[in-house]
Amino acid sequence: MKPFFTKALLALFSIWFTNADAQNAGFSAVLAFGDSILDTGNNNLLMTVSKCNFFPYGRDFPGHRPTGRFGNGRVVSDLVAEGLGIKTLLPAFRNPLLSSNELPTGVCFASGGSGIDKVTASIQGVIWVPDQLRDFQRYIERLNSAVGDPQKANEIISNAVFLISAGNNDLAITYFSTPARMTRYTISRYTDMLIEWTTTFLKNLYDLGARKFAVLGTLPLGCLPGAKRMTGGMLCLPNVNYGAKMFNNKLSNLVNQLNENLPDAKFVYVDMYTYLMELVENPAKNGFLTAAKSCCCMVASPVPCLDASRYVFWDFGHPTQKAYETILPNILNDIRSLS
């Protein structure tokens, strides 16, 4: 091969590897914990009504099949994994067909309907967020076997992005929809408790080897179609949004504290509230027909819309894949700060 072409070829490969490395920013895997924003099918075999492995869910998923993802297509955990250049789909850890080949690049432990409050998971029969740690411990055992080297497994875990979404159901369902909780605790006290439990959970992950944390704030819960139904479908519930913002402010402060107090760990707060609220308040500006009603699966929309990409929300509480894709650049920018 002539020297000119050899140098050109080497330069081309150098650019390719540099771009690929910049894309995944050195992250080895994505490991997701929490609720339906991230769940990719862990509820499918549970005895719970909080599942969606049936039509029309998954209508726009590759193969047009329901997988247990709470939406019309891929969810945040999938899109983050792809956006970081790791993999296109993040498999559910409880999928009985999960291949060992998937383990080194990450899996999902999240459970739709779950939360950091044990009551949240109990009333729906789903996997409580702290109990997802047990699945993570089983994952570590399987990862050790898959890679055949505990040190290599530790490196994968320490360089993985730990994606965490908890608090949505605790506030929207357990607190604001459960009189017993509202009567017993003020919203200030309840959000303090959520932060205490979240702190314990994150420190437990740290003790198991996690070092890079992307902690998602709650969505604008008072503006979800299920909440707006209480006002006739047009107005957001201010008290619910107030509670969500209070929790998110405390969660952001917690992230800052943990950055200072846990050696070798990096935390970033992902402001899902603000990112999604931009679509709620300005749907047309962002290419959507409406954020006032959902595409599917509510009394007002029993027959799914023809094009979910025109809607901010798929159902009563979950954004469409298009909505997630629209805010994804902001999410990825936050996560890349962990590298």
Alpha-carbon distance 310 to 72, whole Å? 12
Q: How far apart are CA 305 and CA 286, in angstroms?
A: 19
Secondary element (H or E) of residue 270: strand 266-270
Task: Name residue, tokens 């875990």.
Answer: 157
Q: Are 314 and 301 in contact (CB under 8 A)?
A: no
CB within 8 Å of 324: residues ≥ 6 apart:
71, 74, 75, 76, 79
Which of 60, 114, 318, 334 is flagged as catalytic?
318
Strand partners, 261: none
315 is catalytic: yes
> What is Dmax (Cα atoms) for the chain?
80
Tell me if residue 158 is catalytic.
no
- Supply angle C-alpha 214, 216, 218, rounded to 5: 175
Helix or strand run (H / E) with residue 200: helix 187-207
Catalytic choice (36, 50, 165, 294)? 36
Cα distance between residue 130 and residue 135, in whole Å: 10
Residue 44: in which H helix or E strand, if any?
none
Write down the catalytic residue from 117, 135, 315, 334.
315
Q: Please list the active-site residues.
A: 36, 315, 318
